[in-house]
A and B are shown apart, each in its own frame.
Chain A
Amino acid sequence: MTKRILIVEDNEDMQLLYRRLFREETGFEIEQTDTGEMALEKIPFLKPDLMIIDISLPGMTGLELTKIVRERHPGIKILIVTGHEVSRYYDEAIRSGADDLISKDVGLEIAAECRKLLNGAAD
């Protein structure tokens, strides 16, 4: 069953990378948006299974978006991605409602991380 992933990332290079990373993967349908505000507008009709949220966003931050999504849409899995050291924001991300926090450095492993979370939901 195809899982829909909404990626909230403002950096164009990272947006291209995500499309490239998920291009070879099967079972994922990818949507992207630049800001937390636009993500909240898209969620009701996109109905994503998982959101990949960059911790540093213009306007509403990734953590703030996480809190709102967790309140309004508790069924969506949330994976926060950061360019900083993971240990620095991990606890705060979990408290905000994220399911996991990973480094942008994870590269090709991001699809595996998504599967792990979604499989956990299926279970």
Chain B
Amino acid sequence: MNSRTNSDLKKQIEDLQTRLRETEGNLDAIRSGKADAIVVQTEDGVKVFTIQGAETAYRIMVDNMNEGALTVDPEGVILYANTRFCSMMGVPTTYLPGKHIQEIVGEEFREEFDIFLRKTVSGGTVHQDFVFVRRDQSSFPVYLSSAPLEIAVRHDACIIVSDLTERKLHQEKLVKLNNELEFKVKTRTHELEEQKTALEQSQEQLRKLTMSLEDQVIRRTAQVRDLAKALTLAEQKERQRLSRILHEDLQQVLFSIKARFELLNDVLSDRTGEINEDIRELDRLTTKALDTSKMLAIEFNPPILRNEGLDAALKWLAHHMEQRYGLKVDICILEGFGVIRDEERVLLVQIIRELLFNVVKHAGTKEASVTVTRKEDRLDVIVEDRGTGFNVEDVKKITQDGTRMGLFSIEQRLRLFGGYTHIQSKQGEGTRIILSLPFDRSGQRLGVE
């Protein structure tokens, strides 16, 4: 018999079958690309053999990527540098492996880079800006992204390098453009502000000019009003002067003449009737002259215009018109008033008297009325008759005629005092004339005492 029994042989066969199956499995894995490397126990220990077909794709990818890539051992020795990084550094691909990385780190960054590397090999992922220096001593800014790389028992660092030169240039250009734009904006803003200031000054000047013109207009209007008032008072004073001359001078002479005629008549009373008749006629003529001068004195300066209020003046006027011309005037004052100013009272009485003369001359009636009424902001005087009436437009064209005022003139005089007239008349239907005066701007109320 053999030393090996059948069972031993069977066991050996099973063992070999197991190893064969395991080997076939490994071969399958290698063929299908599922295995990148194989670990082999050798006399020198465990060794790792990578399978060339598996790493090629990664090598091509890393070598051709647009960013720089390098691996560094914990001491800082460059183990690998891709083509892009070598191109950044301006060196051939064989130059860098084996060099210490601090040789290419900018001097002021070296301490920081040590910390960066230690963090990475300790297992951290770090991102930071640095400056690398080329062989020709030119430097360029970089952005490093690192990650630990553990292969078997080694703890290396894998570093991706992004060249920031172009980005920095773009950033600087952007900053420069931004600064230029800010400067242009500031300059333009300044110009606009200057223009705005100039415009505001022009507007202010215009506003002042407008106010000045408005002031001038107001002043001129006030001056015209004052002149109108002064004119009215001056006219009244002149009439008073003429009245005084008539009364003080002419009438005294006429009184003396009349009295002398009476004396003469008395002395010659025993003479013939003819002489007496002449003296009587002279006496009559003198009386007539005296009456005329009295009438003129009153016409020029009605006594009521001196001191009394408007109501007294109107009542006197009504009495005078009836006595002198047979015109019956109904005076109606609807409400009580405050004080009316002299020049306005004089003006109103003159105008009302003139309108009543017109009734006597043209209206063909013996009755008229004068109504005084107060509105909120003005005084209204209405002179009315039921006479023949007239065409308003035709009569307005009649201008001042001697001592008589036409309707146009009345309207103008009243306007100078800030007032107005409203004339209503129709042929055969009578006439209604409203004289309206505003309240005085100084705050005095117009009215009747």
| A residues neighboring B (CB under 8 Å) | 11, 13-14, 16-17, 20-21, 56, 83-85, 88, 104-105, 107-108
Q: Are A108 and B252 in contact (CB under 8 A)?
A: no
Is B263 part of the binding interface, using a Cβ–Cβ cutoff of 8 Å?
Answer: yes
Q: Are A17 and B260 in contact (CB under 8 A)?
A: yes
Smallest CB separation, A121 vs chain B (Å): 25
Residue numbers in B under 8 Å from A108 (CB-CB): 259, 262-263, 266
Q: Given A20-B260, A21-B259, A107-B259, does the pair A88, B303 have CB atoms closer than 8 Å?
A: yes
Q: Are B303 and A13 in contact (CB under 8 A)?
A: no
With A and B bound together, what is the CA distance between A17 and B260 in angstroms? 8
| Listed residue (B251, B253, B256, B258) with the most chain A CB atoms within 10 angstroms of its CB | B256
Q: Are A83 and B255 in contact (CB under 8 A)?
A: yes
Residue numbers in B under 8 Å from A84 (CB-CB): 247, 294, 303
Given contacts A20-B259, A83-B294, 17 further A-B contacts (CB under 8 A): A11-B252, A13-B255, A14-B252, A14-B255, A16-B256, A17-B259, A20-B260, A83-B252, A83-B255, A84-B303, A104-B255, A105-B258, A107-B255, A107-B259, A107-B262, A108-B259, A108-B266
Other-chain contact of A14, B247, B256, B266 (Cβ < 8 Å)? B256
Q: In chain B, what residue has the closest Cβ to A54?
A: B252
Is B96 part of the binding interface, using a Cβ–Cβ cutoff of 8 Å?
Answer: no
Residue numbers in A under 8 Å from B290 (CB-CB): 105
With A and B bound together, what is the CA distance between A104 and B254 in angstroms? 10
1/0 contact string of B221-264 vs chain A (CB within 8 Å): 00000000000000000000000000110011101101110110
Q: Given A88-B303, A105-B290, does the pair A13, B258 have CB atoms closer than 8 Å?
A: no
Q: Which residues of B from 191 to 229 have beta carbons under 8 Å from A?
A: none
Q: In chain A, what residue has the closest Cβ to B257?
A: A13
Please provide the 10 A-B residue pairs with the shortest distance between their CB atoms, ordered closest to farther: A107-B259, A13-B256, A11-B252, A104-B255, A17-B256, A107-B262, A83-B251, A108-B262, A17-B259, A14-B252
Residue numbers in A under 8 Å from B258 (CB-CB): 105, 107
Residue numbers in A under 8 Å from B256 (CB-CB): 13-14, 16-17
22 example contacts (A-B, Cβ-Cβ < 8 A) are as follows A11-B248, A13-B256, A14-B255, A17-B259, A17-B260, A20-B263, A21-B263, A56-B247, A83-B247, A83-B252, A84-B294, A84-B303, A88-B303, A104-B251, A104-B252, A104-B255, A105-B255, A105-B258, A105-B290, A107-B258, A107-B262, A108-B263
Residue numbers in B under 8 Å from A14 (CB-CB): 252, 255-256
With A and B bound together, what is the CA distance between A96 and B307 in angstroms? 18
Residue numbers in B under 8 Å from A11 (CB-CB): 248, 252
Smallest CB separation, B248 vs chain A (Å): 7
With A and B bound together, what is the CA distance between A16 and B253 in angstroms? 11
With A and B bound together, what is the CA distance between A13 and B253 in angstroms? 6
Smallest CB separation, A21 vs chain B (Å): 7
Residue numbers in A under 8 Å from B259 (CB-CB): 17, 20-21, 107-108
Residue numbers in B under 8 Å from A21 (CB-CB): 259, 263
Q: Which residues of B from 302 to 320 have beta carbons under 8 Å from A?
A: 303
Smallest CB separation, A84 vs chain B (Å): 7
Smallest CB separation, B241 vs chain A (Å): 14
Q: Given A20-B263, A88-B303, A108-B266, does the pair A56, B248 have CB atoms closer than 8 Å?
A: yes
With A and B bound together, what is the CA distance between A43 and B143 in angstroms? 133
Residue numbers in B under 8 Å from A83 (CB-CB): 247, 251-252, 255, 294
Residue numbers in B under 8 Å from A20 (CB-CB): 259-260, 263
| Listed residue (A17, A85, A88) with the most chain B CB atoms within 10 angstroms of its CB | A17
With A and B bound together, what is the CA distance between A79 and B405 in angstroms? 42
With A and B bound together, what is the CA distance between A74 and B255 in angstroms? 30
Q: In chain B, what residue has the closest Cβ to A17?
A: B256
With A and B bound together, what is the CA distance between A21 and B258 in angstroms? 12
With A and B bound together, what is the CA distance between A56 and B260 in angstroms? 22
With A and B bound together, what is the CA distance between A41 and B255 in angstroms? 28
With A and B bound together, what is the CA distance between A56 and B297 in angstroms? 14
Residue numbers in A under 8 Å from B263 (CB-CB): 20-21, 108
1/0 contact string of B266-290 vs chain A (CB within 8 Å): 1000000000000000000000001
Residue numbers in A under 8 Å from B260 (CB-CB): 17, 20
Q: Given A56-B247, A84-B247, does the pair A13, B262 have CB atoms closer than 8 Å?
A: no
Smallest CB separation, A86 vs chain B (Å): 12
Q: Given A20-B260, A105-B290, A107-B258, does the pair A13, B252 have CB atoms closer than 8 Å?
A: yes
With A and B bound together, what is the CA distance between A66 and B236 in angstroms? 29
Smallest CB separation, B243 vs chain A (Å): 10
With A and B bound together, what is the CA distance between A34 and B247 in angstroms? 17
Smallest CB separation, A88 vs chain B (Å): 6
Q: In chain B, what residue has the closest Cβ to A108?
A: B262
With A and B bound together, what is the CA distance between A107 and B266 in angstroms? 12
| Listed residue (B248, B255, B258, B303) with the most chain A CB atoms within 10 angstroms of its CB | B255
Q: In chain A, what residue has the closest Cβ to B255?
A: A104
